[in-house]
Structure formats: C-alpha cells, structure tokens
Chains A and B, each alone.
Chain A
Amino acid sequence: MGSQLNSEKTTAVSINDDGVTLRLKAPITLPVEAESICPDCFVGCQQSEILALPVFCGRRRKMLGDIFSVSGEASDRITVEGDLTHFKRIGQGMSRGRLTLRGDGGMHIGAYMKGGEICVEGNTRDWTGAHMTGGMIRIRGNAGHFTGAAYPGEIRGVNRGTIIVHGDVGNETGARMRRGLIVVEGHTGECTGAGMIAGSVFVFGKLGARAGAGNKRGSIVALGETAPMLPTYQYQCRAQFGFLGVYLRQIRKWGIAVSDDLLKGSFRRFSGDVTALNKGEILIHD
C-alpha cells in the first residue's frame, strides 16, 4: 500500500526537510495495523492527506488523524511520539528516509524494509525487521522474539540490511536469514541464528542456548558468555580473523563500545551445523 500511495503523490508536493511529527492523542490497547506510518507514504503528502491515511484499529478502519495529532508535511523524516506497543507494521516496506519512535514500538517494525533508517528509542516486540532487504533498524531498548527472522513458511528471511539492538533480544533472532547483519549489545534468547543460510549475528552479551541450530553458512560471533554449544558443532582452531576487524570497527562507528581487546583478540572457531551444510560457524572470543 505504501508504495502505491507514494507513486500517486510524489509529484504533487515538494519534500519538506523539517519532518513530520505524530503525537498519540490517547493510549490505545487495541492492536493497530499501522503500515501507513512509513516515509514512503508521507513524502508526497500534504498534512490533510497524512491525516487521512488509513489505519486499522482492531477491526475498524480509521484515519491517522483520529489517533494522532500531526505537525509538518511532505517529508520522509517522521517522528512518532507515544506508547506504540500495540501498533504493528510501522515502517513496513520503507525504502527511504528516517523514522524515529520516541517510545516503545509493537510487532513487525521495519518488516520488509528496503532502505532508510528506523530508530526506536524504547523497546520493540516480535518480528522486528523480518524479511528486511536493506537499510538500518536501531533499537535502543530490547527487542522481542524473531528479530530479523523469516516468517513461518518462508525459506529465506533477512536479505541485506542491518539491525542493531542495544538491549536484549528474544528467541530465534536471525532465523533463516540469507544475508545482512544483526548486532545485539545485550543477551540473546534461544536458537539464535536457527537455520541461518548466511549473514552474520554479533552478540556482545550472553549467547543463548542452541545457537546456530541448522545453520548452513552463517556466522554467529559471541563476544561475551555462551550457553553450552550444540553437539553438532566441531571445534576447528583458535585464530584471529581479519574480517572481524572490518566488522568490529564498523560496529564501533555505529556507537557500540568495542574494546581494543576485542579488535585484537583471538577467537575459537566452531563449524557447523553438521546436520545442515556444515559451512556455518560460531566464533567465540577467548
């Protein structure tokens, strides 16, 4: 829907660099399908058109203006203020601009995202960044289960793009991801990188149990504690890995504290999962 709205409007109004701010009028506990809160939808819209964008609140169709007060127009920079825990699919499919959530967000934030940047200053729920193919999602708090994972029934999940979670994440982070990078500054739940096809998951806190189950070619990098490894991983060697220097320096640029110890450190390499292709790996910092 977002791209359709965008293609109809982009020629009508020039882009406004001041951005659009949405303020939640009153707390909402019903689930809200809010994929219209997306820079691609806003960029060509005058304020009256933004106010009229559709959302589903429970089973009722409403307009954004019924739920939010809106300032600004015609911009691909959006700030949303309020508790959006029950708002789903914010930034779904976005390809440009910047979306900032000043508060908690709900499920499916940035799902199918293609470009641009989402920054959530609170926590998010499940399926953050599911199937994203580009751009960056940054969660200042915690994220739920299935962060950067593939939806049930889908063989491949995330394919490019970066998800940074400064807090903890739930289970099955990065499940069946094809490419891309997920960085977790806190701890992960169980089955991180389950069924990974490729891509990278960096965990600075504790890596949860059963990490890399069914991993084909993906890299899971444990920079803190680790739960017991699956028996389907084989120890290979202790070494310094040049590519980690590239990654950790970039991660440091993204604002995560990476000590010089980590940059220069050696890692134990476990290859697996032998029940899958056996070309994946878990690297554990010594």
Chain B
Amino acid sequence: MSDKDIAASSGLSDLNPQSRIRRTIPKIAKLFDATKCNGCKACQVACSEWNDLRAEVGTFQGSYQNPMAVSADSWTIIKFNEFVDDNKKLRWQFTHSACMHCEDPACLTACSTKGAIVQKSNGTVELNHDKCVGCGYCVSACPFGTISLNPKDSKVYKCTMCADRVQAGQEPACVKTCTTGALKFGTREDMLFIAEKRVAQLKERGYANAGLYNPKGVSGTGMVMVLHDINKPESYGLPADPKTSLPTTLWQDVVKPLGTAGILGAVAVACVHRITVGRNIVEEDDPIAYAQQHHSHPEKTDKE
C-alpha cells in the first residue's frame, strides 16, 4: 500500500470527491478477543514503546486501569471493567481500548479540514498532523472516545494501527506482543472468520450470549471484538450503538448547504433590490448649507 491509497478524506463532498482509484487492497483488521485477555497490559507497553509515547505518570484512581483514559500520549489502554455476573461473582472484563478504525468514521465526517483525517484503502483511519488545526471536532464526534487533542501542540492523536509497521508487512506492535493470543491481526475477512469460529466455540462452552462486536452504526470497524456477552457492550466500556451523531450529521448535511443558500440568497436579494429600487437619498432643505456643515467640523460636541 502506498500513501496514495486513500479511500476517503475529511473536508470533501460529493461535489468535490476523493479520487477513487486503487481501492482493491484487502481491508485489514485487528481482532481483540476479550475472553482471552488477562489484562497484562503488554499491548499498552508495546504501543508506547513502538510509538515512543510517554504519558505523564498519573495517580491511583482505585483501579488497576492506568492511565484511566486514552490520551494523546497513550493511544491504547487496557480497561479494567468490573462486572458482576448473574451468580453475583465479580470479575474483570478487559477491553483493549484504542481507535476502532471505523468503516464510516464519525471523526472523518466531523473534520472540516481537507485531508486532515483520511481513510486508507486498507480501511485504517489516519491523521495528517501538518493539516490538523486543532479544532477538536473529531474528539467530540468520536463515539468511542479514542481520539485525543494534545493541549501542548493542539493536534489530535490516536492509534495509527502502526501504519509504519503494517506498510512493511508486519503486525501492529500490540498484536506482536500480546501474551495470550487475545489480539490477532490480518485481513478483515480472516479476522471475521476466526472471530466467528471463536464465538461458536464459546457458545459450546456455555457462553450463550457470546458474540462479535462489529457495530453496524459505523458500518463495521477495523478492530472487531469477541465479547462474553454481546448484549452488554456497555459492561466493556463500549457504546451499544456507536454512530455519527445527529448534530454532526445536521451540521455537515443540512446547516452547510442551507446556510450557504441563505447567505447567497441574502446577498442576491440585496443586489437586486439595490439595482432595481435604486438609491434612497434625502433631499436636504438646504443642500449647500448641509454639505458645508457636514464637511466642516460640527460645532456641537458629540461627546457624552
């Protein structure tokens, strides 16, 4: 894949589309199997090592989860979700939290800067920091909360799916280091196949609600997850129905065209009125005196 293989870009529209050649590359995906994760955080460390990220050391928040949230300096974290099952037993449900690389990314839709967020032909969502202006629209649009604005440089950061490794034919650093095989990497087709087999296996073992998290609202994701109970994604800190939100859609698809029509309409009406009705001039009682007085300094003071 080359850096020309862009499938979608922020700041474009149907009138001003992205070039649509070379979209034959198979989509890639990361598969996170929550039923295999033991919360060792090796993925978290590998990510910070490979991408050279050093988040500031935080404080204890009553959880092994550390840091508590994805940030510009920590692109992936393991979430330690505490879950009480039907037998009143407490257990951890780990979530490998990072950019989901949505097929229909809300961040890209919300971004109003051309080319600052692009989707590569392999399905990964990538940021161009030299174009990002730091408005943060993507940060508030992301339904997963996995894109973060760095206050130090006012640029957004997130998981790149280790684009530099993938380009060289390697798996992302987190997958490479995963100790339990909870993380896998490959074509999206292969990952979905493996996930399906795993879900069937889990059902056999008594996890009747086991399922695949590949949310429809964002047309599927570039990180799919196998969960113990697909009906309770919230218990993994995942949204039940992630999608591009209504205000973001209204802003892009309704306010922009209607607003443009309104602005142009107002200008057009003003111009037509000016040309047809003409000037609106006051006939002064004494035009010469008026001109003199207006052009000389008024005697009266206008100060308060």
Q: Are A and B subunits of one complex?
A: no
Q: Give chain A's interface residues, CB within 8 Å of chain B.
A: none
Q: Give chain B's interface residues, CB within 8 Å of chain A.
A: none
